[in-house]
Amino acid sequence: MMTMHMFARWLKSPRPYLMLVGFALFLGFWYLSVEAWKLPRFREMPGFTSVIKEWLSPDPVYGLSIYTAEYYTHIWVSIWRVAQAFFLATLLGVPFGLFLGWSSKFREYVFPVFETLRPIPILAWVPLAIVIFIATESAVIYLTFLASFFATALNTMLGVQSIDESYIRAAHCLGAKNRQVFMHIVIPGALPFIFTGLQISVGVAWFSLVAAEMVSGQYGLGYVINTSYMMVRYPTIVIGMITLGAVGYATSAMVRILGDYLMQWRVRELALGGN
């Protein structure tokens, strides 16, 4: 969390100015190539100014701007789907991963099947998902869930395996029984990896959600991008993309902040330069 002092120091360093240069270059290039110079490839692309104008206009040409209710409906639908899938995946994936890491018996029985299913790309599940879950809403959520589940379970398992054996040994010689070791050592010890996994899981959830929405959905940001293309509403495509980026970033940041809160000991350790 930036304190005033850190912020002042940041302002004095070259970083914010380089950042501005970067954005200026990027946006400048976009503007110039599409709208000013009208380069051959770029001619059909939606221009920077037209996107901004559309996005901020109270009466948008193509029906979607920050002033229209529909915009927020789509955002909400996508977020709600990701939320359901993510929470389900976390609820199932974390315990599953914990057991995979903790019990070698369980792992030897279950991991081969897990690793066989994991490489199958999520979108490859789409037709099967539509066949199994007759309603497309469930199918979309299922696909998003699947992607998140694999990422969460795998990272949780790696987290448990990454715990230094000394901690477990120390707990044993201090008289803790297996169940206590699990609660007091394994779970907190695996938390850093679990949260890395959760951040990846959120990213992967958005990836799958967009794909699923583009293929078979109604409402949602993926759907918006798709239909905007088909109805030749190009500026709206970019609005959809930008919104996706912003929402994706925000959800990932939320997970990260939650992780920092739960792992205070880590934050403090890292702040002291890691002893």
* Residue among 23 and 58 whose Cβ is closer to other proteins: 23
Binding to other proteins (CB under 8 A): which residues in 214-273?
A: 214-216, 221-222, 225-226, 228-230, 234, 237-238, 240-242, 244-246, 248-249, 252, 263-266, 268-269, 272
C-beta separation of 93 from 152 below 8 A:
yes
Angle between helices 136-161 and 187-216 (to 10 degrees): 150
- 154 Cβ partners below 8 Å, 6+ apart? 97, 118, 197
Span of 4-12, 69-77, 88-96, 205-213 interacting with other proteins by CB under 8 A: 205-213
As measured in angstroms, the least distance from the Cβ of 58 to other proteins is 26
The single-letter DSSP state of residue 136 is: H
- Assess 124 for contact with other proteins (CB under 8 A): yes
Listed residue (242, 227, 226, 220) closest to 51, CA to CA: 242
Q: Of the listed pieces 50-58, 67-75, 87-95, 161-169, which binds other proteins according to CB under 8 A?
A: 161-169
Q: What's at 256, amino acid-wise?
A: R
Q: How many CA atoms lie within 13 A of 121 on its CB side?
A: 6
Q: Is 100 in the site for other proteins (CB under 8 A)?
A: no
Buried b (16+ CB within 10 A) or exposed e, 102-116: beeeebeeebeebee
- When binding is defined by CB under 8 A, the residue of 6, 56, 120, 254 that contacts other proteins is 120
**Token code pair at residue 181:** 């070791």
Report the candidate in 149, 104, 101 with the shortest Cα–Cα distance to residue 125: 149
Select the residue interacting with other proteins from 102, 125, 145, 182 (CB under 8 A).
Answer: 125
Q: Is 88 in the site for other proteins (CB under 8 A)?
A: no
Q: Which stretch binds other proteins (CB under 8 A): 56-64, 69-77, 85-93, 110-118?
A: 110-118
Residue 213 near residue 220 (C-beta atoms within 8 A): yes
Judged by CB, which is closer to other proteins: 4, or 113?
113
Stretch that binds other proteins, among 57-65, 79-87, 92-100, 167-175 (CB under 8 A): 167-175
